[in-house]
Amino acid sequence: PPHLAKYAMSYVFVQAEFGLACPVSMTDAAARTLRKFGDPKLFGAYIDGLTSTDAETRYTGAMFMTETQAGTDIAMTETRAVPDGDGWRLSGKKWFTSNPDADVVLTLAKYPGGDDTTRGVGLFMLPKVLPDGTRNSYVIDRLKDKMGTRSMPSGEITLDGAYALQVGRLDHGFKQMAEMINTSRLSNAMRSAALMRRAVSESVEHARARVVFGKPLMEQPLMRNTILPLALEAEAALGLIFHSGDMLQKADAGDENAKSLIRVLTPIAKHYICKKARWVTGEAMEIRGGNGYIEDW
């Protein structure tokens, strides 16, 4: 669907279930990246799986990018790729991977002859299951003990000569991966906006039902003064997401002005909305009183 419609539907979905949203986002981003840079003959079946709505045939996607020394500085990536027939073999460790048991993984690795900049890092597609039905050669070493979204696993991965296919030009690997990163960033901001909306909804419901000193909390001026800024931030976040989704749609259609705008809007949305979501949800926890700090809630 169009990006704006996708974000609108996801915004509603995330308010009910947050844990599935990251894998859904990365699946969407992986399909978009393979369509944009991959050979259709080579990746057609994987794209079909990533976009399938049939539970029996669908694939989920992920990206394995972060390493202990290469989180921000991707040029320091230590995972190595060596040619193997029509494919490649990847060896190395990935430190933070969300949805680590995905069927289709996009990852970065150094290739022979590449330099020490981001141009020396290529983009590769790593299938969980090989064409002959056997599992690929990588291991989930452990899952991260995260704060926050515990229902969506993140893990540490060791690639041990894992089979992979090259995506696009080797020396454009990071540039191509940036397309997936930016799509994920905008989705991350959308999910944060949805959390804000959920937090405001629960705060309002609680304040209307909770009676204190003879009247509902919502009738207390200080409570209204607490909730109103939360609602304002939630509405502003949604507006920015919808505007960004519209610009992304126009950029994909060839609008050069929209391409420039979305490059600026994406990091702004990711930075601002995600930070504000922590404040909004934190305030909402306080509004719920002691129950706000209980895992059951």
Q: What CATH topology corresponds to 176-293? A: Butyryl-CoA Dehydrogenase, subunit A; domain 3 (1.20.140)
Greater confidence (147 vs 83) lies with: 83
- Residue 2 above 90 pLDDT? no
- Residue 182 above 90 pLDDT? no
- Residue 148 above 90 pLDDT? no
3-state secondary structure the chain: CCHHHHHHHHHHHHHHCCCCHHHHHHHHHHHHHHHHHCCHHHHHHHHHHHHCCCCCCCCCEEEECECCCCCCCHHHCCCEEEEECCEEEEEEEEEEEECCCCCEEEEEEECCCCCCCHHHEEEEEEECECCCCCECCEEEEEECCCCCCCCCCEEEEEEEEEEEEECCCHHHHHHHHHHHHHHHHHHHHHHHHHHHHHHHHHHHHHHHHCEECCEEHHHCHHHHHHHHHHHHHHHHHHHHHHHHHHHHHHHHCCCHHHHHHHHHHHHHHHHHHHHHHHHHHHHHHHHCHHHHHCCCC
List, for residues 227-276, the tens digit of each pLDDT value: 999 999 999 999 999 999 999 999 989 999 999 999 999 999 999 999 99
List, for residues 8-59, the tens digit of each pLDDT value: 999 999 999 888 888 999 999 999 999 999 999 999 999 999 999 999 999 9
pLDDT at 70: 76
List, for residues 121-136, the tens digit of each pLDDT value: 999 999 999 989 999 9
Per the rule left: phi > 0, alpha: psi between -120 and 50, beta: everything else, 121 is beta
List, for residues 268-296, the tens digit of each pLDDT value: 999 999 999 999 999 999 999 899 888 88
Cα(165)–Cα(219) distance, rounded to whole angstroms?
Answer: 61
Which residues sit opposite 83 in a β-bridge?
Answer: 88
List, for residues 86-124, the tens digit of each pLDDT value: 999 999 999 999 899 999 999 999 999 989 899 999 999
pLDDT at 149: 74
The chain-wide mean pLDDT, for the chain, equals 93
- The percentage of residues in the chain with a pLDDT greater than 90, rounded to a whole number, is 80
Contact of 219 with 244, CB cutoff 8 Å: no
- pLDDT band at residue 152 using 50, 70 and 90 as cut-offs: confident
Contact of 188 with 23, CB cutoff 8 Å: no
Q: What is the pTM of this model?
A: 0.89
> Of 2-6, 197-201, 258-262, which range is least confident?
2-6
- pLDDT band at residue 223 using 50, 70 and 90 as cut-offs: very high
Domain extents in the chain:
176-293
- pLDDT band at residue 181 using 50, 70 and 90 as cut-offs: confident
pLDDT at 267: 94
